[in-house]
């Protein structure tokens, strides 16, 4: 009976039933006992994920809002996952992005879901792989994942998105000199947002120079797009670059890499499912009083 209900949810999902989509995402978030059976019934999908990342205050949400508007004008169906910071009290999402994007609330072509990062330093939700795979089974033309804005540690999006857009602002200035190579290499497209501000041209020039040095041996050309999201300037060009990348880049090679990354994190997640800091602390409290306590012998049992 439970399996039949799961099959019904998957069929409803494929036909665009938003209630079924929301229900499945909730089952995954809450790790319902049957959620793994649901995931095993998901069909294979070639759909691409657009990842939007970058430091806090760069204007990622405004850019996403502009992209939704352009896709909607083309009568496309859009699914958006906004990873919000977790409340330190409830561990739930603060829902800032959903509030900012409330203009799309009644639009049948747009689905927006806020998810809590739950303290994940990579700026993503712990179940983001499973949730995006569910989104890919729904009849969306475009799927966008906007990360929480964790800054330089935010490279996990590269293991999830087929096209990663890194958003920066001119005020970042010399910060790009200290930017980790990982963040530089995650980008398929760089956006200099708020480009109407002073130093935007200089910042773009410095960024291009850094990219030339970083990728000179790999022959990887990463476009840099200047935008003013609040005025919807440069958004057309950004959308064109996103579509171009998803159609023309060496997708086959990255596809295998993405699947391997996803498999690795899913296996790691399952292996660590019953292990957490509180449980370890309790076990250590029991054994650490022993003068023969050895941390490396202790961890062998796990």
Mean pLDDT value across residues 44-63: 89
Beta strands in 150-217 (DSSP E): 163-168, 189-192
- Which pLDDT score, from 0 to 100, does residue 107 have? 93
- Which pLDDT score, from 0 to 100, does residue 19 have? 95
Query: What is the total count of domains within the chain?
Result: 3
Mean pLDDT value across residues 86-115: 68
How far is Cα 195 from Cα 122, in angstroms, rounded to an integer?
27
Q: Using one digit for the tens of pLDDT, what is the confidence trace for 143-160? A: 999 987 654 445 567 678
Sequence-separated (6 or more) residues with CB below 8 Å from residue 39: 28, 130, 133, 134
- Which pLDDT score, from 0 to 100, does residue 230 have? 93
Domain range for 10: 1-43
Tell me: do 8 and 131 sit in the same domain: no
Mean pLDDT value across residues 88-94: 44
Mean pLDDT value across residues 183-200: 87
Tell me: do 26 and 161 sit in the same domain: no
Tell me: do 156 and 256 sit in the same domain: yes
pLDDT band at 181 (very low <50, low <70, confident <90, very high): low
From the list 203, 200, 244, 201, the residue with the least C-alpha distance to 222 is: 244
**Is the confidence at residue 214, as pLDDT, over 80?**
no
Tell me: do 189 and 140 sit in the same domain: yes
Tell me: do 221 and 286 sit in the same domain: no
Decide: residue 250, CB within 10 A, 0-12 exposed, 13-18 middle, 19+ buried: exposed
Sequence-separated (6 or more) residues with CB below 8 Å from residue 13: 20, 21, 24, 134, 137, 138
Q: What percent of the chain clears pLDDT 90, i.e. is strictly above it?
A: 38
**Is the confidence at residue 101, as pLDDT, over 80?**
no
């Amino acid at each position: 009976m439970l399996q039949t209900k799961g099959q019904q949810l998957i069929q409803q999902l494929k036909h665009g039933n938003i209630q079924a989509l929301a229900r499945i995402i909730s089952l995954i978030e809450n790790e319902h006992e049957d959620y793994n059976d649901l995931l095993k019934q998901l069909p294979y999908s070639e759909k691409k994920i657009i990842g939007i990342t970058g430091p806090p205050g760069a204007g990622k949400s405004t850019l996403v809002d502009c992209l939704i508007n352009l896709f909607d004008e083309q009568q496309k169906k859009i699914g958006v996952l906004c990873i919000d910071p977790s409340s330190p009290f409830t561990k739930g999402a603060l829902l800032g992005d959903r509030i900012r994007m409330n203009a799309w609330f009644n639009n049948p072509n747009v689905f927006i879901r806020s998810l809590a990062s739950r303290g994940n330093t990579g700026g993503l939700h712990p179940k983001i792989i499973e949730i995006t795979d569910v989104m890919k089974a729904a009849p969306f033309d475009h799927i966008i994942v906007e990360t929480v804005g964790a800054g330089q540690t935010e490279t996990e999006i590269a293991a999830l998105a087929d096209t990663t857009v890194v958003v920066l602002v001119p005020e970042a200035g010399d910060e790009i000199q200290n930017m980790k190579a990982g963040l530089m290499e995650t980008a398929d497209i760089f956006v200099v947002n708020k480009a109407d501000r002073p130093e935007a041209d200089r910042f773009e020039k410095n960024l291009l120079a850094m990219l030339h040095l970083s990728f000179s041996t790999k022959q990887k050309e990463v476009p840099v797009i200047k935008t003013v999201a609040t005025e919807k300037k440069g958004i057309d060009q950004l959308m064109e670059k996103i579509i171009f990348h998803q159609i023309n880049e060496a997708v086959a090679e990255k596809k295998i890499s993405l699947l391997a990354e996803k498999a690795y994190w899913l296996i790691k997640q399952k292996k660590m499912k019953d292990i957490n800091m509180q449980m370890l602390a309790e076990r250590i409290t029991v054994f650490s009083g022993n003068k023969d306590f050895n941390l490396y012998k202790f961890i062998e049992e796990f």
